[in-house]
Structure 1
């Protein structure tokens, strides 16, 4: 972890493009935000874009913007993500999922330091720093034609590979302390990890990496009055459909509708909290109003 922090601190003040690699959930966006906050661009926007979530036909318009009337539905001109980032940082998550023809246009924009909106002719100067990320191995991404070699070299002026939590040893506890400190600061509380939670932090393999760690701590934080119980909070996390947890998990059968799955999860969580609707809603991440509406629907079906 100290080596990772050292590399981040060294590259953050520069203006070079950075490529982050690592499994899903290893904290790539967290690192990108940290780089932004440690740079001279910290007062400028940080714009995060999931390239894999944008339809292939809209990637260019989303990144570079478009002029009114340039395509069906373009009723007004719109700035793209590059323009919105301005002199700040643009985080291109899952960059290897971008269509190859769009990768050529992105490469041209990065090399010329200009973009042109779809349907426009004016070249707009770029002052944005680009931090990109992918969960693919770089060799596989290039050999399987997911990522152009020339774009790879343009994005990876500086490359940081993020290890999984299971390979970080005591770093798990450092991250956990950081997340808890932030939550205590926001909520103005003094909650802490129980002794068993520290044991659990070290023993669990954290297959969901940083994302799983953060979500588990957040659930435990909501449930705790003082000491956080991570082991208990973990049982209220996602359950893989078709399997059952060893610790009073919920089993879902194949073919169930989403509404059936939702009903089981809500009622089981309510049961575990002995009917406490406030805690049930908090753990599920829904409002009390939504919870009451669902319960009324279930009663009507009985």
Structure 2
């Protein structure tokens, strides 16, 4: 249960408050009792109570208070004490009523329904704070799978339980680990990541536990390991499946005894560290093959969180695109927009690289089309899963291009000779440079005539860029008016 795990009881009838307190204590539910005059001190948008029970209210009556509170705190489930006004049952967050005489069976059933309401409530209605919004923005999405991940993070963050994050490469396993750390009581401590697959096996022990001076060749001074660096915080062991078997034994001892020694040392150091591990490998399959210790697996797998692949939550692609574009916009001072067809095409992609692949694509598009609009045909070929017709301009170039031509023609230009190109070498020889110039002019004029002087199409026929063709037209004083 996220937020406040207590039940809030609002009732101006002292005896009934006392009865409900005894009942809630009996079923193991902590509670807080207030009268209607003090509701504003305990009920806020920043706290999610397990449930709010509303009974007899002297001023305004039960119905008036419930309607006011239920409309203001839509994420909060309410229970009525007594049958209450029938109109209150129409409010979506009024779960039901606790009838007198009170019974523990009825109470536990209604509180369970309130718990279900918390779990299924839309994310937009749930109480949150700015800190959580910043952290969870890398895990945004409306799909049920990513919502479940966010819920699991909130549930485990407040504990010191070991967490194992599973999922394909690029799904954001380290993002999950960072969220667990910063939502925990260890948030003021360090977050220390270690990629177990990127460190040579012979150096991994020293990297994790540190070493004393002279422990091995090259150890010219004592050095702290990652466990010491993470004291009071969280140690993130990425790609734990790549850890050698001999190191798995030593890690298991640290997890069991909560202490370790540096390489070459004899002093025992207490490990006040919360461990979050991650892997893209199938550890249970590795156990069967003898590549991963079963006892270490169960030590790490206290609270597993499985990250879904991007293919499994394709409906989240537009939201992730928007988030990544905004983030890159702050770095590159430029953004990009995508047409609806482009987004639909991206939602059909398999995303073997998951969110990391999506982030790379967004950065490429921002570089290629800064502050521009991207359609399906602008996407790299492998991301085009929809057919979109190419748009043909039905005009003789833009007014801007015509103005450019008019402007450049005002400058002094080269005047070509009037004689035509000959393919026969005369006895007296030729001026090859002038001959090639005449040939170039003739080809440009033919391309322009063929395309009705649409410069971009003529440039395609000539195999050159439009800007290059415009420059040559300026140089040779070619325009539609002089054709």
TM-score by length of 1: 0.72
Describe how 1:233-252 pairs up with structure 2 within 5 A: 234=380
Describe how 1:1-302 pairs up with structure 2 within 5 A: 1-186=146-331, 191-227=336-372, 229=374, 232=378, 234=380
Name which one, 1 or 2, has greater alpha-carbon Rg.
2
Secondary structure of residue in 2 paired with 1:47? strand
Q: Which runs of 5+ in 2 are unaligned?
A: 1-145, 384-464, 466-483
Contact 1:20–1:161 (8 Å) recurs in 2: yes
The CA distance in 2 between the partners of 1:16 and 1:166, in whole Å, is 30
Contact 1:197–1:228 (8 Å) recurs in 2: no
The CA distance in 2 between the partners of 1:159 and 1:228, in whole Å, is 41
C-alpha offsets along residues 137-190 of structure 1, whole Å, 9 cap, x if unaligned? 132121122221111111111001112111113122333233223333455666
Distance 1:184 1:161, change over 3 A: same
The farther-off stretch of 99-108 and 194-203 is 194-203
Contact 1:66–1:80 (8 Å) recurs in 2: yes
Contact 1:44–1:88 (8 Å) recurs in 2: yes
Contact 1:217–1:230 (8 Å) recurs in 2: no
The CA distance in 2 between the partners of 1:209 and 1:146, in whole Å, is 27
Distance 1:230 1:131, change over 3 A: farther
User: Residue 76 of structure 1: CA displacement?
Assistant: 0.8
Distance 1:222 1:42, change over 3 A: farther
Contact 1:191–1:224 (8 Å) recurs in 2: yes
The CA distance in 2 between the partners of 1:222 and 1:171, in whole Å, is 23
Contact 1:41–1:88 (8 Å) recurs in 2: yes
Contact 1:216–1:230 (8 Å) recurs in 2: no
Contact 2:164–2:303 (8 Å) recurs in 1: yes
CA RMSD of aligned residues (A): 2.3
User: Residue 71 of structure 1: CA displacement?
Assistant: 0.2
User: Residue 42 of structure 1: CA displacement?
Assistant: 2.5
Q: Which runs of 4+ in 1 moved over 6 A?
A: none
Aligned to 1:296: none
Distance 1:111 1:202, change over 3 A: same
Paired residues in the alignment total: 238
TM-score by length of 2: 0.46
Contact 2:328–2:335 (8 Å) recurs in 1: no
Q: Flag the structure with more relative contact order, 1 or 2, with Cα contacts below 8 A and sequence separation at least 6.
A: 1
The CA distance in 2 between the partners of 1:192 and 1:36, in whole Å, is 34
Contact 2:213–2:222 (8 Å) recurs in 1: yes
The CA distance in 2 between the partners of 1:90 and 1:41, in whole Å, is 11
Contact 1:97–1:146 (8 Å) recurs in 2: no
C-alpha offsets along residues 231-287 of structure 1, whole Å, 9 cap, x if unaligned? 6464699xxxxxxxxxxxxxxxxxxxxxxxxxxxxxxxxxxxx8xxxxxxxxxxxxx
User: Residue 222 of structure 1: CA displacement?
Assistant: 3.0
Distance 1:34 1:161, change over 3 A: same
The CA distance in 2 between the partners of 1:201 and 1:65, in whole Å, is 46
Q: Which runs of 5+ in 1 are unaligned?
A: 238-273, 275-302
C-alpha offsets along residues 107-164 of structure 1, whole Å, 9 cap, x if unaligned? 1011111121001111111111111011111321211222211111111110011121
Contact 1:220–1:230 (8 Å) recurs in 2: no
Contact 2:165–2:277 (8 Å) recurs in 1: yes
The CA distance in 2 between the partners of 1:230 and 1:85, in whole Å, is 47
User: Residue 196 of structure 1: CA displacement?
Assistant: 3.8
